[in-house]
Every structure is written in structure tokens, then in C-alpha cells.
């Protein structure tokens, strides 16, 4: 290679680097000073790139960001070049209204891939199979139709008949915990064990054997690490769609962000068995002249719904049956863990079983299942919130951690303190407002259809276990707890010491 060619190559390289730096500088300058959201306060690095947000998501700092960002910057925070977090009833009412046109974002398409993987076309558009997917469905009309289809199955009057199955699981859990004789346990794992067993009993009349084994085989820890990956990938929807089309892109993305994780040697997932049992039972039940199945569980109700309403297709049936486990096992375990952690670290509360409901609601307020906002897309015509004009296509949402500690929403002093007394005194207007602005079950009309089943399980488990045990809890510092889109208190050690059953617990619900 001659000297002239070498110098030409060097100049071409320098020119390319210079052009790249100029392009980056132009983008940075535009996003900081000329972008329509440039007036909104927030971390400067967050305004430049989603990398800042993704870095903190990867490191599990979502709960901490929800707690501190609004304290520092106010009710509106720019959390990304094109994303805002809000912390106010005004923003909640607009963003999560069923009539304002704020639809779900691409983030949910990424999160939903654990239940159904879309096909990505050459224009990077996701195409989900025609299956009922309430989590990622963005068309509000279609969502309403789907909710109406399944509505009767998840009403309180319907799920209450599963109480006996849940009671049997609780009875087994009490016996198992009594046999431990006060030995130290990992609270998150045991709450996950109980949650999965309750789901198995009420949905498909089946036990995965976790209570008998005394372990969840690492499935809760494995699933939680999966949320670390999904929380980061959801912030880069275009890149994530590219990874779905190319294994090479997927490998590069996960390697750059250090999102790979290896299952523990004893890891065993209960999902394959769930899927097989659901498929086998649906197939046998829908055969012509099939013998009557006398199991009275949620799957039986869904099968009957399919028979009564052809619009509720067999694909919908399969998807909805599995979704009860996919959407329920972690959220229910997270809720139970936070409740037992909060009540277990407040002896005065533990001794007052008569207000278990207030104690549960307060724990769920302080430690919501989600730590990132529930993102929505601003309609094409744009919107005004808190004096800012927000262009169409901007991602907006309320952060549950911040909103649940907002002094304008929470009754009483010190919203950061655990104080179940806030919820006492009957269903007053103030208490109804705290419920209204809760994001524990989703935002506005997009609430979890399994709420009634989950609440029934949670209230029964908490009431029964605190009636039979003194619970001693050792908690790690709140700061440093890993939290992603889904948030779960980890590292909590607990001891369940048997006490004589108390009649007071009978009326705690």
C-alpha cells in the first residue's frame, strides 16, 4: 500500500469520525435546547439518551428513582429524550382515562413476549397471533371487547367459589411452616411457593409440589432476573425488534448490556407442566361426547365460556388459562412479600389483627408491584399537562412509587411511613381517592382482570398466617434493593413461630 493511499485512508477515517461526532453533537444540542420537551426538568443525561434510564433499570434502581426524582425535580420529570414521568392526580386522570386517547406503548409488546412472541416484519412491525393478550393490546376498542368476553369469569361472585381450594393450600402451608419450628426462611421464595400453589389449585385443580418440597426450585429468582432484561429492552423497542429478527443482534444487545444470566443448578420451571396440563385438559374436554369433568376451577369456567361464546376462541381460551399463571405468580408473590415484610417489622400492627385489611392496603401503597411508570403514548394531536404542551407520540406515565407517596393523595402525615391507620374510618372520600390513584392493579380502565382472584388469595393467606404465627422479619436496607419494571422486596429472612389460634383473626377480613 503506497503512502498516498495510506494518507487517504487516514483522512477518510478522520472525516468519518468527525462527521459522527458532529452528528452526535447536533442530536445532543437539539435534545437539550431545541426539543419540545427541553423545558421540562430532569437529569440532563436522561434528556440526551435512553441509555441513562436503561443503565439504572439494568442496575435495579427503579424503586429508588421513583422515590427520589420527583422530590428533586417536581411533578413532571423528563426521564428520556421522549418520555416524561408525572406525579399528580391531574396527570393520572388524563393519562389513564379511557376517553383521552392515551394508548399503550411499544414497551408492552416487549414485556408481553414472555407469554407470546410476535413475528417482526421487515419494517420492524410486531404481529401477534390472534390470541387474547390484555397486557399488550393497544387498541382500546378491541381491549374492551376482550374484557367483556371474560368479564363474568373473573367477577367476585365467580372467583369466590375457589375459596375452598385456596383454604386447602393455606392449611398445607400452615402445616409446612409449623414443621419448620421457627427456622429461618427466605420470605420471597415462600410467598412465591404459596402464590403458585394457590394459582394451581384455583385455576387447574393441581399442585406443583412446591409446598411439599419446601422450595420453588429457583423459579422466583430466575423470573425476577428476567424482568431486569425486559426492563432494559423495553426502553429500546426498535433495537429489541431487531433482536427478534436476528440472533446476532440479540447476542450483541445482551452482551453490551450484560443482560445474560445463568439459571441455578437446581432451577426447575413449573410453566412447562402448566402448559401441558392446560392443553391436555382442553383437548379432552372439547372432544365430542367427552365425559363430564367435575372439577370446579377457573379453567372449567373458561372452557364453559368458550362453549357459550364462540367469539371466545380456543386460542383465546388457551392463552387466558396460561396468563393466569404468567401474570399472577410474580405479582402475587411480590404483594405477599411486601405485606409480610411491612407487618412483620411493625409489632404494634401484627398484634391488631382486626385491621388486617388496612395493613395490607398500606403495604401495597408503599411497595407497589411496579417501579417504572405504566407508559402511554400521547395522541397525535398532542396534549397539555401541567402547563406543558406535549407533542403526539411522546411517552408519558405516572410512577407508582412516587404517586403512592404523593402528599396530595395520601391521607395523614409522612407519606413515606408505614401507617395502616390511614385506611381506617370507613370508605371516606379521602380513602376512595387513595384507591383511585393506586396503580397496583393497573391504570384506569386497564386494570388486571385477575384482581378479584388475587385479592381473595392475598387476604386469606395474610389473615390465616398471622392468626397462627408470630412473624419475625429481618430486612436489608431499602436503598440497594434491586427493582425493575416489576418490583419485589428481596433478601428478607423470616421466622414463623407458632401461636395458639386466635378467634380475633376470624373477623379480620
- Per-residue pLDDT for 503 more than 80? no
Question: So what's the pLDDT on residue 364?
Answer: 96
**C-beta of residue 333 within 8 angstroms of C-beta of residue 455:** no
Question: So what's the pLDDT on residue 354?
Answer: 62
Any idea where the domains of the chain sit in the sequence?
A: 1-34, 35-507
Question: So what's the pLDDT on residue 507?
Answer: 40
Question: So what's the pLDDT on residue 475?
Answer: 87
Question: So what's the pLDDT on residue 386?
Answer: 94
- Per-residue pLDDT for 498 more than 80? yes
Binding residues for heme: 448
Give the residue with greater pLDDT, 500 vs 204: 204
Query: CA-CA distance, 95 to 442, in Å (whole number)?
Result: 12
Model confidence pLDDT, tens digit, residues 255-264: 999 998 888 8
The mean pLDDT of the chain is: 90
Distances from the Cα of 284 to the Cα of 167, 262, 278, 287, angstroms: 28, 37, 10, 6
Rounded to two decimals, the pTM is 0.91
**C-beta of residue 486 within 8 angstroms of C-beta of residue 136:** no
Of the pLDDT bands very low, low, confident and very high (cuts 50, 70, 90), residue 219 is very high
Query: What superfamily would CATH give domain 35-507?
Result: Cytochrome P450 (1.10.630.10)
Binding residues: 448
Secondary structure of 272-337 in the HEC alphabet? HHHHHHHHHHHHHHCCCCCCCCCCCCHHHHHHHHHHHCCCCCHHHHHHHHHHHHHHHHHHHHHHHH
Of the pLDDT bands very low, low, confident and very high (cuts 50, 70, 90), residue 505 is very low
Model confidence pLDDT, tens digit, residues 334-385: 999 999 999 999 888 877 766 788 999 999 999 999 999 999 999 999 999 9
Lowest mean pLDDT among 200-204, 219-223, 243-247, 392-396: 243-247
Model confidence pLDDT, tens digit, residues 29-83: 999 999 999 999 999 999 999 999 999 999 999 999 999 999 999 999 999 999 9
Of the pLDDT bands very low, low, confident and very high (cuts 50, 70, 90), residue 18 is confident
Amino acid at each position: 500500500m503506497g503512502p498516498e493511499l495510506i494518507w487517504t485512508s487516514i483522512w477518510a477515517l478522520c472525516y468519518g469520525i468527525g462527521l459522527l461526532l458532529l452528528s452526535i453533537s447536533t442530536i445532543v444540542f437539539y435534545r437539550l435546547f431545541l426539543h419540545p420537551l427541553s423545558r421540562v426538568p430532569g437529569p440532563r443525561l436522561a434528556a440526551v439518551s435512553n441509555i441513562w434510564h436503561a443503565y439504572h433499570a439494568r442496575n435495579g434502581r427503579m424503586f429508588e428513582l421513583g422515590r427520589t426524582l420527583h422530590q428533586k425535580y417536581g411533578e413532571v420529570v423528563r426521564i428520556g429524550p421522549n418520555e416524561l414521568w408525572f406525579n399528580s392526580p391531574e396527570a393520572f386522570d388524563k393519562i389513564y382515562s379511557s376517553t383521552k386517547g392515551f394508548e399503550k406503548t411499544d414497551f408492552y409488546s416487549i414485556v408481553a413476549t414472555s407469554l407470546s412472541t410476535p413475528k417482526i416484519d421487515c419494517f420492524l412491525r410486531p404481529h401477534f397471533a390472534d390470541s387474547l393478550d390484555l397486557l399488550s393490546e393497544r387498541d382500546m376498542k378491541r381491549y374492551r371487547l376482550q374484557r367483556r368476553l371474560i368479564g363474568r369469569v373473573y367477577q367476585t361472585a365467580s372467583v369466590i367459589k375457589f375459596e375452598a381450594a385456596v383454604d386447602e393450600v393455606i392449611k398445607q402451608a400452615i402445616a409446612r411452616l409449623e414443621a419448620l419450628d421457627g427456622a429461618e426462611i427466605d420470605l420471597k421464595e415462600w410467598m412465591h411457593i404459596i402464590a403458585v400453589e394457590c394459582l394451581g389449585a384455583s385455576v387447574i385443580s393441581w399442585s406443583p409440589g412446591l409446598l411439599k418440597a419446601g422450595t420453588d426450585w429457583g423459579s422466583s429468582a430466575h423470573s425476577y432476573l428476567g424482568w431486569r432484561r425486559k426492563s432494559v429492552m423495553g426502553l429500546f423497542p426498535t433495537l429489541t425488534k431487531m433482536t427478534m429478527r436476528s440472533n446476532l443482534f440479540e447476542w450483541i444487545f445482551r452482551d453490551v448490556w450484560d443482560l445474560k444470566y445463568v439459571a441455578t443448578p437446581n432451577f426447575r420451571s413449573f410453566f412447562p407442566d402448566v402448559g401441558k396440563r392446560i392443553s391436555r385438559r382442553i383437548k379432552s374436554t372439547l372432544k365430542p361426547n367427552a365425559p363430564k369433568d367435575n372439577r370446579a376451577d377457573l379453567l372449567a369456567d373458561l372452557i364453559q365460556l368458550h362453549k357459550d361464546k364462540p367469539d371466545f376462541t380456543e386460542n383465546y381460551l388457551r392463552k387466558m388459562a396460561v396468563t393466569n399463571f404468567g401474570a399472577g405468580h410474580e405479582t402475587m408473590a411480590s404483594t405477599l412479600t411486601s405485606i409480610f415484610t411491612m407487618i412483620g417489622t411493625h409489632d404494634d400492627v401484627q398484634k391488631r389483627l382486626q385491621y388486617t385489611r388496612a395493613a395490607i392496603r398500606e403495604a401495597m401503597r408503599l411497595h407497589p408491584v411496579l417501579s417504572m411508570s405504566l407508559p402511554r403514548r400521547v395522541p397525535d394531536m398532542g396534549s397539555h399537562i401541567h402547563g406543558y404542551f406535549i407533542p403526539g407520540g411522546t411517552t408519558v406515565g405516572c410512577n407508582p412509587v412516587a404517586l403512592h407517596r404523593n402528599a396530595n393523595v395520601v391521607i395523614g402525615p409522612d407519606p413515606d411511613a408505614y401507617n395502616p391507620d390511614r385506611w381506617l374510618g370507613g370508605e371516606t372520600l379521602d380513602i376512595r381517592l387513595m384507591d383511585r390513584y393506586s396503580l397496583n392493579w393497573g391504570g384506569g380502565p386497564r386494570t388486571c382482570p385477575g384482581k378479584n382472584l388475587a385479592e381473595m388469595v392475598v387476604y386469606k393467606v395474610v389473615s390465616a398466617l398471622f392468626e397462627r404465627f408470630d412473624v419475625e422479619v429481618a430486612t436489608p436496607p431499602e436503598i440497594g434493593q434491586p427493582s425493575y419494571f416489576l418490583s419485589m422486596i428481596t433478601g428478607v429472612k423470616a421466622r414463623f413461630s407458632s401461636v395458639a389460634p386466635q378467634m380475633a383473626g376470624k373477623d379480620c377480613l
